């Protein structure tokens, strides 16, 4: 009797462990599925951020080109005093815009790295 009781106890423990392992397997499958979904979302987010970074860099290049063009016009010396003052104001606006875009770009990059 005692031997039979021990065998039943062992059998119950094996069945309990089997049920627990099956539940864990289902749980792990669910987590793996969710992680794959979250991985896809993260990849989409990174692609979007990379696109934004590329666009910001293009904006900076275009503004730097404009700034150089204005510098060339100023250096040429063919401007009236009024035109010269206007070009300097435009150059200042462009430089401020470049700084604003660079600051925005830094924020995007810092948020990616968090």
Sequence ranges of the domains in the chain: 2-112
* Model pLDDT, residue 23: 84
Q: What is the pLDDT of residues 65-93, one digit of tens each?
A: 998 988 888 888 787 888 888 888 988 99
CA distances from 6 to 10, 15, 40, 114 (A): 6, 14, 51, 55
Count of CB atoms situated within 10 Å of the CB of 2: 6
Task: Share the mean pLDDT of the chain.
Answer: 84
**Residues near 46 by Cβ (< 8 Å), separated by ≥ 6?**
112
Residue 43 structure tokens: 């990849």
Give the pLDDT band of residue 113 (cuts 50, 70, 90).
low
Mean pLDDT across 41-67? 88
Give the pLDDT band of residue 114 (cuts 50, 70, 90).
low
């Amino acid at each position: 009797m005692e031997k039979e009781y021990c065998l039943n106890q062992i059998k119950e423990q094996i069945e309990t462990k089997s049920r627990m392992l099956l539940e864990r397997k289902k749980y792990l499958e669910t987590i793996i599925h969710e992680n794959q979904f979250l991985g896809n979302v993260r990849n989409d987010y990174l692609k979007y951020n990379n696109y934004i970074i590329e666009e910001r860099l293009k904006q900076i290049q275009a503004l730097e080109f404009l700034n150089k063009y204005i510098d060339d016009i100023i250096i040429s010396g063919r401007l009236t005093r009024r035109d010269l003052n206007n070009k300097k104001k435009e150059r200042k606006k462009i430089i401020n815009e470049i700084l604003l875009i660079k600051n925005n770009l830094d924020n995007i990059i810092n948020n990616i790295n968090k």
